[in-house]
Structure 1
């Protein structure tokens, strides 16, 4: 019997099945949330082996920062200007406006919401954990607010992750994609190093920022795909 013009066939099981990329993003986000939750608990308790690890790494890097002023100046420029959270947020805001002008309104809103979510999560956790920053008799830099998680590290992951996600959606591949990934990895790893090297964060602050940032990007990718799918139905 022919279908009525007002009716459409029900979507098949294959159509309803999540895309492999969306499934991978969901799993990545779940793992990152779980690991960051465990790390948060260990920091809040606090767990002595974790504190000892943080102290050993932070002391080793700080001693180098004190004896290498030229390298320390380079790290301060990188952390205060190149990879500063406001630099990253300005980059994300620029992309958001670009998407809006291109009439990619839903995508623009999603990128803006992801950046805002990242900032809200990091500030909320800082208030909850209330972890003190390292204190040194001979500091080479200073920072405000609580230490856990690192806002620099988390903002870098959120921004770089969103840019890579958008680049992939717009078909980036080959040398262009490889260059983007390399730049993102250097930025994320580099800003994490500068925060510990300059003595304003513990290593686990940075790791938590990385994990939470990755979780935000994964959540953004999954929720956007579901929003697009629901609009097409």
Structure 2
């Protein structure tokens, strides 16, 4: 007996579409990284958007600070722990693995890219891509992938839910980062695309690893059972 297979981290209906989106997002990350490499000033678009958003007053500044806190180590760890617990209660172990691995790889990728690109803000702080935005987008993507699978959504509806969730989370965190002067708007876009590139790829890898583990477990179980059956028929 092998039991019911665990639901996929990446719903089959979304594999092709999200694979293409991940590739395009990775391309955007590279293009923006090359464009703003070793730059320490806002671009034209950055300046226009930043001037409209920067300089919040209460209570919006407190909202931005709280949103930013959710991307800091303590807040981020609490969010990840809560999601892992929730996914396990829902009996979605692959989603639980994905939220840890996906968030870790997304933030790790953003952290690795910062010194490679070398873009700075506020007198020397590395800024591209935005790790906070990447983290928030990554969590939203994992939740949306789980919802797509549980609701049995098709390709169009599932893709709309996934991209809409990613856009909402990325926009909220990105707004906070720009409003607080921590990142340029193009840093936010780079962080958003980083998550779009990493999460679908990580979900696919989680599914492959889980499927291989399940096959090996089934083979080990089938071997002794087959031997016992042959002994019974002797």
Normalised by the length of structure 2, the TM-score is: 0.69
Distance in 1 between residues matched to 2:162 and 2:73, nearest whole Å: 19
User: Aligned match of 1:69 in 57, 65, 72?
Assistant: 57
User: Aligned match of 1:93 in 76, 81, 99?
Assistant: 81
Distance in 1 between residues matched to 2:95 and 2:68, nearest whole Å: 29
Task: Tell me if 1:204 matches 2:204.
Answer: no
Matches within 5 A, 1:135-174: 145-171=125-151
Task: Tell me if 1:26 matches 2:6.
Answer: no
Matches within 5 A, 1:1-233: 19-44=12-37, 46=39, 51-62=43-54, 65=55, 69-81=57-69, 86-100=74-88, 104-134=92-122, 145-171=125-151, 185-231=167-213
Paired residues in the alignment total 200
Distance 1:80 1:26, change over 3 A: closer
Q: Which runs of 5+ in 2 are unaligned?
A: 1-10, 216-234
Query: C-alpha displacement at 1:219, in angstroms?
Result: 1.1
Query: C-alpha displacement at 1:54, in angstroms?
Result: 1.8
Query: C-alpha displacement at 1:201, in angstroms?
Result: 1.1
Show CA shifts across 1:125-148 (max 9, x none): 12222322146xxxxxxxx94211
Query: C-alpha displacement at 1:154, in angstroms?
Result: 0.6
Show CA shifts across 1:44-92 (max 9, x none): 16599x7232233323433xx2xx5225424434433456564344222
Q: Which runs of 5+ in 1 are unaligned?
A: 1-17, 136-143
Query: What's the secondary structure of 1:80's corresponding residue?
Result: helix
Query: Could you list the runs of 4 or more consecutive aligned residues of structure 1 that deviate by over 6 angstroms after TM superposition?
Result: 177-183
